[in-house]
Amino acid sequence: MKKKPPQDFALDRPVVLIGMMGAGKSTIGLRAAGLLDVPFYDADKEIEKAADMTIPEIFETFGEAHFRDGERRVIARLLEGKPSVIATGGGAFMDPETRSLIAENALSVWLRAEETLLWSRVSRRSSRPLLQTDNPRQTLNNLIADRYPVYAEADLVVESKDVSKEAMAGALVAAVRERLGQGQKHEGKPGE
Q: Is 21 in the site for ligand S3P (CB under 6 A)?
A: yes
Smallest gap from residue 19 Cβ to ligand S3P (A): 7
Q: What's the Cα-to-Cα distance from 71 to each of 2, 11, 51, 76, 154, rounded to whole Å? A: 31, 24, 11, 9, 18
Span interacting with ligand S3P, options 32-40, 89-97, 108-116, 159-167, rule CB under 6 A:
89-97
Span interacting with ligand S3P, options 5-13, 78-86, 87-95, 183-191, rule CB under 6 A:
87-95
From 188, 131, 168, select the one nearest 35 (Cα to Cα).
Answer: 168
Q: Is 91 in the site for ligand S3P (CB under 6 A)?
A: yes
Residue type, 138: Q
Smallest gap from residue 89 Cβ to ligand S3P (A): 2
Cα 171 to Cα 176: distance, rounded to the nearest angstrom: 9
Smallest gap from residue 182 Cβ to ligand S3P (A): 29
Burial class (CB within 10 angstroms; exposed 0-12, middle 13-18, buried 19+) of 163: exposed
Positions that interact with ligand S3P (CB under 6 A): 21, 25, 44, 55, 89-91, 128-130
